[in-house]
Structure formats: C-alpha cells, structure tokens
Structure 1
Amino acid sequence: MSATGGAVTGWVLAPLALAQFICSFAGSNMNVMLNDMSEDLGTTVPGIQLSITLFLLTMAALMVPFGKLTDLLGRKVCFLLGLGIYGVGAVLSALAPGLGLLILGNSILEGAGTALLIPPVYILVTLYWKDLRSRARSFGIVSAAGGVGAATGPLIGGWICTAISWRAAFVFQAIIIVAILLLALRLRDPIPADPTMPYDGIGAVLSGAGLVVFVTGILAIDDRVVLGVVLLVAGAAIIAGFYAWIRGRERHGRAALLSTALFRNRESNLGLVTQNFQWLLLMGISFLVAGHLQVVRQYDAVESGVIFSAATVGILVSSLSAGRLVRSIAQRTLILSGFLVTALGTVLLLLVGAVPGAWPFAPGLLVIGLGLGVMLTPSVNVVQSAFPEELQGEISGLSRSVSNLGSSFGTAIVASILGLTARGPGDNYALAMVPLIVVAIAGAVVAGFLPGRRAAPAGRVARATEA
C-alpha cells in the first residue's frame, strides 16, 4: 500500500524530508547563540552547551525504544505524536525564563519528540519505495535535508537571533512543525499497527540508561576524571546487560526490544559504525567551529553562522548527487571517499586555527560538506536495505539511535576537550580538532571493509546470521 492508497507520489517525501531537516536544524542552530542565550537566561555558555548535548543524548537514548513503538502504534501515529511533542517543546523553549525550562522544552521534549518521529521517516521511505533507483533517490533527498538542516542551523539560527531574538528561532521551529503536521495528514501507513504486540519495557530502560550514563561519563571527564571513568564503565556495563537481557528473552521465546539478529549482520554493523562517525563529525565540527568563533574570537551569531554556508553548499551538492552515484558506484567507494574528503577538510580547519578572520574556515567547511554529503545516502541505504519489512521498525530505531549517539559523542568530546569557558585558551581549538581527524580516518578504514558491490536490490531479505 502506498502513502495515498495508490501510486506513491513526490509529495509524500515533503513531510518526511522536512521532519529530518528541522530535527537536524535543532541540533546545531543553538551553537551560534551561546552568548546571547547565556546572557538572556542568566546562565553560562557551558550551561547552554549542556542543553545542546542533552537534546542529542535524549534522542539517542529514546530512539530504539520509540522505534519499536512504531510496530505497536503505527508509523503515522508515531510520526504525528512526535511532531506534537516536539512542537510543545519548541514553544516552551521560546518562552523559557531560565535554563531549567529550556532544558525541559529543548533537551527533553524536543529530544523525545524527535526520537518518536524520526524512525517512521526512514521506515516509510523503505516501505514506500521498493526499487533501488527510487529508494536511493528518496534516501538521498531525506539525507540531504538532514545534512542541510545541520549545516544551515548556525546560519539561519544566527540570522534569526541577530535580527529578532534567539527565542524566535524556536518559534521558527514550531511553525515548521505545524506545516509538517498539515502535510503528514495525507500519509497512509503501509503496514497495519499491532497494538497486541508485547513491549519489552525493561529492555527499553536498560538501553536508554546505558547510553545516558556512558555519554555523561564523557562529559564528566572534563573536570572530574575519576567520576567520568566510573560512569563510562558503568554505562558500558549497562549496555552489556541490555544485550544479555534481550538475548535471554529471545532464548525463552519472548519478545525483546531488539532482535539480536540485527547485530549479526556484518554489512549492517559496518554501516552503523559509518553512520555514527558521520554524525559525530558533522555535529562535532559544527559545535567546535561555532563555539570557537563566538567565545574565543567574539564574533556575533550572524558572523558565526554565515561561514557555515560553505558546509551547507557542500552537503547539498554532494548528497543530492549521491542518489544517482549510488546506482553506478559501489557504496563502499562512496563512503570511503567521503571520509577521506572529510579528513582533508578537518586538516584544513586545523591549519587555519590561528589565522585571523572567519572566512579562512570556508574552504575546510566546504570540503567537509562535500565529503559528508556524498556518504550519508549510501550509509543509510546499506543499513535499511539489509533487513526485511518486519524488522524495519527495529533497525530504523537502532540506526537513528546510533547516528544521534554519534552527534552526542561529537558534542560531548569537543566540549570536554575544548572547555569553552572564559578561561579557555585559543589553542584548545587545535587540540579538539585532533580527535575529529582521527575519527574521519577511522571511518575510511571501516568503510574499506564494506562489500565492494553496488547497492543490492531493495526489499531483499538479509541473512541474519551473516558473519
């Protein structure tokens, strides 16, 4: 069944792509409002940074549990419900008198809403478009929307913040959410919901808690090393306990939050790692460069945001082209090349760290945008196409959780190293850029182990026991 009960038409992509755009936009637009928001709310720059990281962390922690809800409630219901929760969070954030309500609205509600609405986006694309060509094109548009949202967040957010107020940026998000809701009313769910399906509540708690504790450990290492290490170990232990839990439920024939078969597909596992690294790089670089320009160099929101137009152009050009390239070039080649190009861009950013002005950052950001954009689509296609329809809810939730966990890692690692406070010296920029370069190179290495063939026909059933 299609979105309209007949043939799938182009308008179906509009609400899905816009949803990915606004959620990615929300993850990066506050990066250029650090000074304005901290002064208006009577808090500190690290306080605003904490809100950004918590938003990304909430998404990562809830993406798997909420992805599973798509089977129980239906994909359209979860999509609309997520939009509603997100919209309420945006309004609360716009009205926030202090950091506490900002964290509730932006970090918690917008994060939870995103975790609820994003899995249906990727499930519906997989189910609506069956053939390789149309699916690759559709994933290309959605991936482009996400990349452009993250890249234009600083630009649009900076302009709105300077021209009106940082609060208007959240009003802008609420307006986009209303538009998406109106467009989404025409969507149809290709697979009926099954409200009788059992839900693994304990598994949901374990998966979310493990990710929260682990990322909190990264944040704590900045000034509390012992506590940070303890939290990292505890988080890893909880995640291991989660895997043991779902494995035990499967052995006893009971429904688990995730099928362990998802972790036995080598091609999908490698694809998930590349997704994590891509979003770690995208959000980490945005967080680092925007913060450095504002806090260290004292540029305003517009000056800091305009420079990111270079990354926007790069992502838009390469990601839209990726939908065509994936049909003639092996996905491994595209992903590997993307990481190498991104690594080059990060090196360029490292070299201009001591150069006066903001425009020297443009070439590096452009190259990074080109590199990231060309590999977003094939990475998603590798993962989503590796499993049959009955596992799309689970793999979509896992895929988006891994991607958003990468975003959380990027901001948490950069924040811990950079220490963007009044005491932060400028040379911390170079120190924070080093792990990003390492991740880009590591991503190329991982991509090299992907199968060298072109994308397999959509709809194939992956061998769950693949080595």
Structure 2
Amino acid sequence: MSVTDTPAAAAARTAAAPGAARMTTRAKLILLLLCAAQFIVALDFSILNVALPVLGKDLGMGQADLQWAVTAFALPSGGFLLLFGRIADLFGRRRLFLTGLALFTGASVLAALAWEPAVLLAGRALQGVGAAVIVPTGMSLLTTTFAEGPQRERALGISGTLLSMGFTVGMVLGGVMTDVLGWRSTMGVPAVAGAGVLAAAPLLLSESRPPFRPRIDVPGAVTVTGGLLSVIYALSTAAEEGFGRPGVVAALVVGLVLLALFVVVESRAAQPLVSLPMLRRRSVAWGNLAGLITFSMMSTVVFLLTLYLQEVLRLSASRTGLVFGVQGVFSAASGIVAPKVIGRLGARNTLVAGLALQAAFTAALLGLGRDAGPGMWLALVAVTLGSVFHLWVIVSYGVIATSGVPNAEQGLATGLVTSSQQVGITLGIPLLSAVAAAHSAALRADGDGFADATLGGIKPALGVDAAVVAVVAVLVATGLRRARTPARG
C-alpha cells in the first residue's frame, strides 16, 4: 500500500481482487519459516540478559565484563545488516539465508558449551554475524514472495508481531530457564530452534536475486559498517562507563564521521550500496525513522519494566513473566489485526496513530510507585496497550518503507527496514539505561535507598522514551503528508 492510499482506495483494491489476501499452503509454510527465523534472532538478543549474573559466576567474569556478552552480539548484528542485505541481492537471498542460519546455529552451540569467557564472546559475536545475515535476507525473501498489497501487509503483520514478541519472550524465558536448567540452556534454545529452521528451509525456499549483479560498493560498505559498529559500541558501553569517558566519546565521533563519509561516498558511487534517491523517497526515510524509534523505545520500556518489577517491587520471575506473557498475547493479536486497520485508515494514519498511542501509554508509566499492587497493574495495562499500538507502527512502517520499490531493489529496501529494527533494538536500551543509571547514582549519593534510587532512575528514562516517540509521531505525520506527490513511495 502506498502512503497516499486512502481507506476507500485500499478497500476498493481488495474488493477487486477477493482472492489476493488468500495464501496457498506453501506460502503459509514459507511465511512460518521466515517468521520463525526472525523470532529466534530477536529472542537470542534478549534471552541471555537475565542469566548474566549466573553466567558471570560460572565463567569467572567480573561485573564490568558482563556487558560484553550482550555487546558482542549487538555490534555485528547491527553493524553488518546493510552490507549483507546487499550481498544477498548479488549472490542469492536463499543461499545467504541458509549460510546465516548455519552460522547462527553453530555459534549458539559454541556459546552454550563455552568453557571460558573468550569462547562465550566468540560464540556471541558469530551469532551476531549470523543474525546480520538472517534478518535482511529473510525480510527480502518475504517481500519478494508476497506481492505488494493485502498479502504483503498480512505477512509483514505476522513477521513484525513475532519479531517484537521474540525480544519479550527472550526476557521472560531467559529467567525461567536459568533458574531451572542453568544459563547454558538459554543458548541451547536458539541452537535447537535454528537447527529446525535450517532443516526445513531448503525444502521450501526458492532462490531469489535481481536480474543483474552489480559490483559491491566497497568504500560504502567499509564506511557504513564501520560507522554503525562505532556508534553501537559507544552507546552499548555508555551505560556502564558514562557518556563522558574518552573511549565512548571517541567511538561516537568516529562513528558519526564515518556515517557522514558514507553519505558522501554513496552520492558519488556508480553502483552504491544504498541508493540515495531511495533514501530521498519520503516514504522510505520517514517510515524507517518511525521503525527505528518504535523498536528502540519499546524494547527499552520492556527492559526498564523488568528492572522495576524485580528490583523495585521485588516480584518473582514467574509474576514478572505473567506481565510480559499478557503483553505477548495482546501483541500477537494486534499484529494480526493491524493489516485490517491499515485497510480502513491507510498506512500513514495507522503509523501516526500507533506512535502517538505508544507514547501516551509509555507516559502513563510515570505513575509507577513503590506499592506492589497498583504498580504491577499499571505496568501490566500500560505496557500491554502500548505494545498493541507498537504493533500498528511495526506493520504500517514496513508497508510504507517497502511499497513501490522494484523487486530488484527489495534487498536494499528491506535492508533499511531490518536495519531500523535491529539497530533500534540495539541502541535504545544502552542509551536510556545510561539516563536511568545516572539519575539512580545521583539519588544514591543523596542517601536514597536502592529501590527508591532505582525507581528514581527509571522514571526519567521512561519520560525521555515517551517524549521521543511523541516528537517522532509529529515529524512523521508532517513528513508523510508532504509525500502526496506523483512519485508514490
């Protein structure tokens, strides 16, 4: 659906092709397989978080070193997305997808068997590389398998739902499995699941590539990959070291300079890694901004609420899991309903409404307090409803950012979409964790107890979260309104 579609036009198109939204059995199996791969990657990003204290004691890792178990995965998974999305266009999306799955599965086994910190970090880094292959190639296979219109909207809705749920399920499942089976089981889950998807993929997927094979834009690949790696490293370590540390500042400056150079390189390249004319499409630019923000801010809400429920309210892992379990059920339902909402309201209106309502329910969390009863219920209701509208954003931004793009450039378009998702998840938590940590430290220095200081740090971070989403909602509404031009994005 183009961002310029009206609800009446969308309804008329669907009515004119009543079978367009019906999927064959094979198409449903392909969608299930591709969504399963996305879900596993999202789950793997968060499943180890809750297990870190236990893991550290087992492998002899100090508190300051534990962040690297997360950063080792986040760096390559966010940094190499655009590069592998382009490589898949050149050498075959199915081939790269299977390669990424094999690497991811093998790396998960290595991480599960780790006997020292270096082996664990190597396994996590290789998982990240595998994820950077799986995510853009899987999304390219999805958008080239399902035609633009009702089928793609439905497929993107299901994919976005499972991607969002994967992060939440990982947080909950990681704690339960660590208590019952030990931290190694958290790496065993993606290994077993990845092996299952890898076994089924060759039977269902056909090769997909554009009709031409341009050369790889090496300068563009070096600058964008280096820039993303530097920025992600800076923000991932800032939560532990603070933004004022020289190493953090240097990495952030280097990253921003490289990304600026990337824009210059791409403007002069004969066959660029990223088509700047595509980025100049308002639908692509504003759609991906919305995706980056919705993923970064909602994943941060889940992380901060996990701290609130367990460290402030002292809830058990099972009761914390109940809160996020309810959220997951409603998120799944919203992802299924979202394409119908788009059909009635249009993609642009759905996107803006979803952002505004996500911001509103995040702001409601500023009412959290020390009383366990009201606090748990407010957290449950606000995060559940916020996630419902978060799924509206996920589906509508995917539709907007990939509509009107030729199949030959779907790898580029979906590489941008998946970069927004993965980089968003990577950046939000360390950035707002640093905000929360700074406020908590100041309160502890003033004599506040641990729980009060923790809550005092969480609230400003939630406030920033809500404000950022609200501002982006206004910007996206304005930017996409101006996209009503003959060049349909």
Fold-level similarity (TM above 0.5): yes
Cα deviation for residue 378 of structure 1 reads 0.9
Cα deviation for residue 55 of structure 1 reads 2.1
8 Å Cα contact 2:110-2:119 kept in structure 1: yes
Give, in whole Å, the separation in 2 of the partners of 1:109 and 1:355. Answer: 43
- What secondary structure sits across from 2:274 in the alignment? coil
Which TM-score applies when normalising by structure 1?
Answer: 0.88
In the other structure, the counterpart of 2:466 is: 437
Q: Percent identity?
A: 24
User: Of the candidates 156, 177, 182, which is equivalent to residue 194 of structure 2?
Assistant: 177
Cα deviation for residue 398 of structure 1 reads 2.0
2:267 partner letter: R
Cα deviation for residue 115 of structure 1 reads 0.8
1:435 partner letter: V
Bigger shift: 437-446 or 227-236?
Answer: 227-236
8 Å Cα contact 2:236-2:427 kept in structure 1: no
Cα deviation for residue 152 of structure 1 reads 1.6
Cα distance change of structure 1 residues 92 and 296 upon mapping to structure 2, 3 Å threshold: farther
Give, in whole Å, the separation in 1 of the partners of 2:243 and 2:302. Answer: 25
In the other structure, the counterpart of 1:3 is: none
Q: How does 1:350-361 map to 2 (within 5 A)?
A: 350-356=366-372, 359-360=376-377, 361=379
In the other structure, the counterpart of 2:136 is: 119
Bigger shift: 118-127 or 350-359?
Answer: 350-359
Q: Is 2:269 the partner of 1:225? A: no
Q: How many residues align?
A: 449
Cα deviation for residue 113 of structure 1 reads 0.6
In the other structure, the counterpart of 2:299 is: 283
2:457 partner letter: N
In the other structure, the counterpart of 2:399 is: 381
In the other structure, the counterpart of 1:395 is: 413
In the other structure, the counterpart of 2:275 is: 259
- What secondary structure sits across from 1:257 in the alignment? coil
User: Of the candidates 314, 328, 332, which is equivalent to residue 316 of structure 1?
Assistant: 332
Give, in whole Å, the separation in 2 of the partners of 1:9 and 1:188. Answer: 10
8 Å Cα contact 1:140-1:377 kept in structure 2: yes
Cα distance change of structure 1 residues 158 and 7 upon mapping to structure 2, 3 Å threshold: closer
2:266 partner letter: I
8 Å Cα contact 1:74-1:189 kept in structure 2: no
Cα deviation for residue 296 of structure 1 reads 5.2
User: What are the ranges of 5 or more consecutive residues in structure 2 without an aligned counterpart?
Assistant: 1-23, 445-449
Q: Is 2:364 the partner of 1:348? A: yes
8 Å Cα contact 1:55-1:110 kept in structure 2: yes
- What secondary structure sits across from 1:446 in the alignment? helix
User: Of the candidates 127, 150, 153, which is equivalent to residue 110 of structure 1?
Assistant: 127
Cα distance change of structure 1 residues 380 and 70 upon mapping to structure 2, 3 Å threshold: same
8 Å Cα contact 1:353-1:430 kept in structure 2: no
Task: Say which structure is richer in helix.
Answer: 2
Give, in whole Å, the separation in 2 of the partners of 1:397 and 1:131. Answer: 17
8 Å Cα contact 2:90-2:209 kept in structure 1: no
Once the two structures are superposed, residues 332-385 of structure 1 have per-residue CA deviations (whole angstroms, 9 ceiling, x without a partner) of 221112122212221232211433367332112112211211221111111111
Cα distance change of structure 1 residues 231 and 76 upon mapping to structure 2, 3 Å threshold: same
Cα deviation for residue 178 of structure 1 reads 1.1
Which TM-score applies when normalising by structure 2?
Answer: 0.84
Cα distance change of structure 1 residues 368 and 248 upon mapping to structure 2, 3 Å threshold: same
- What secondary structure sits across from 1:318 in the alignment? helix
Cα distance change of structure 1 residues 99 and 432 upon mapping to structure 2, 3 Å threshold: farther
Once the two structures are superposed, residues 18-56 of structure 1 have per-residue CA deviations (whole angstroms, 9 ceiling, x without a partner) of 011111111222333243333333334554344324423
User: What are the ranges of 5 or more consecutive residues in structure 1 without an aligned counterpart?
Assistant: 1-5, 457-461
Once the two structures are superposed, residues 368-418 of structure 1 have per-residue CA deviations (whole angstroms, 9 ceiling, x without a partner) of 211211221111111111411111111221221122111121111123223
1:233 partner letter: V
User: Of the candidates 144, 169, 172, which is equivalent to residue 161 of structure 2?
Assistant: 144
